[in-house]
Chains A and B, each alone.
Chain A
Amino acid sequence: MKDIVRFELNGKSEELQVDPNLTLLWVLRDHFGLTGTKFGCGIGFCGACMVHMDNTKVPSCQLRIGNVNGRKITTIEGLSRGSELHPVQKAFIKHDALQCGFCTSGMIMSATGLLLKNPKPAREEIILELDRNLCRCGAHTRIIDAVLTASTEMNGGK
């Protein structure tokens, strides 16, 4: 059975006929070809599939596409403005806050989600927020530094 689902994806209105029980993750990857969002554990634990729904982070592997109807979704591909990277993306590059990169988009989506609701988080708040984004390369401390740098930049250097 297929339903019509309409939602905003990275600033663009989309409409598709789809099995409403598919997860947003696989619709993003298979239908839209947006493979920046990763499949990690598939049970909402690892954070690799994190996207924003209405500016709040959500693991896309836990979200049925039927429930996305009328919502606004942002993925890692939708963060930059043209060729201008989001401050968090820039800070990740500056701090070498990645190795294999598998967790990176989820990390960045969690971090940008945090900065939307709390523009000046303390180090402890960043650690708490990113706690459920797993990275096995060991880039954690660099990731935290990157989020702090981005937060400072977004607050005009303060």
Chain B
Amino acid sequence: MNALALPVVLPLLAAFLVRPASLVSSGLARWLGPLVLLLCGAMLVDIALLADGQPVSANIGGFAPPLGIVFYADSMALLFAIAVPLFALLLWPREGMREGGDRVSALMLLLVGSGTGMALSGDLFNLYVFYELLAVASFGLVAASGTARAWAATVRYLLISGFGSVLALIGVALIYTQTGTLNLAQLSEFAPERLANPLGLAAFACLLIGFGVKAELFPVNAWVPEVYATAPKRVSALLAGVVSKLAILVVLRLILLVFDLPEARQLLLVLGLIGLVSGELAAWRARDLPRMLAFSSIGQLGLLFMAMSIPGELGLIAALAVALHHLLMKPALFLLAERWSGGLENLAGAGRKAPLAAGLFTLFALSLLGVPPLPGFWAKLVLLLGLGQQDAVLAQAAIFGVLLMAVVEAHYLFRLVGLLYAKTAHDATPHHRGDLAVASLLGLVLLASMPLLPTLAEGLGWMAHQASDVAAYRAAILDSTIPGVAP
């Protein structure tokens, strides 16, 4: 019945079965995780195909919302929900991490279960719980690399994240005192009346900064460089690529359903712009590839927050385009950084030794910059068009900021590409075949999306149209009298 709940429940269950399974047979423990992820991915795709673009909702335990817990899946939620097991499968820890291998598997499964739950959840209470689960799983994954620097980075990450959860809880408490509900559908009903005031705005700011910790939002992103430099690169790829997008999805839902206020959008624009400028400038000064990628990730997510500040469906399309582009790009770049983690100057000539890796890096660098035929260009173009529609001085300044930072980005990326192809003898160890295969796959997806752009744009438009239809969201959740109307 509640087919929608299975992709959340199964990984959570499997996470605690990995350890017992390893006592029975080590092969079973090793394959349990990937198999469960494959099953979850297939189930989500199946739900998406059955739903045929229509939103699906499921009431957990047969209690009807607003009292019961509800899962809601429209195209946007399903897209992100499918990305979680898919990318976890692509970035599954390699055999190299034999020590504590089943512990890492369990944490990965926990991350997938809570991440999928976050994408599908329809009330703030559950979002908070899944968010905390996701946070704890990611602390464990970062610390699992077993180096002292990773532990120190994790403590810092944990403290900032804990501060974020306190803020998020304050936001939840403020909303609850104002409306008496935490169900997003019901909140969307009460919001224009009870949350369109300074108190509601304060609640939004608290929730934004609270959930923004994972999305590398400006004031709470001090953990990013240390964690990405010390964590295993596959974990960094997962955190930067997928986990950040889940936090973004929560903020998107909040701004679409509950806080559709101009002040809230202004806050997003300002914080995004500061994130973009500070991230790109820091990336320009970075002296090793992992931290350069970490800072550039802050910049890219700043761009994403700016896209979310654009009102209407155009803003949503821009946000989805930037988010999907970043989702493809960052994991691949981190995989390439696995063998190139030394200082930048040590990379001179590395591209001649590893032509495929260097070629992929150049491709991703070009798309990240937004060089015309590549998808990155269209993502940035939609963003600039959306910003250009507004008359506010702030939006004009933001356009200037985006263009200026593109120059900075071009400088440090081309400097690195030039360095990779320098005529110097280089004795780096070649990339691991699995890493290269995944990076090539993501590169191929990027290239394949070019001829499909019109279809993709149509799809994104439809998704944005569906996601911004608040009345339909309410109807799908509150009017379903039969418990568990899953396909």
Asked if chains A and B come from one complex, the reply is no
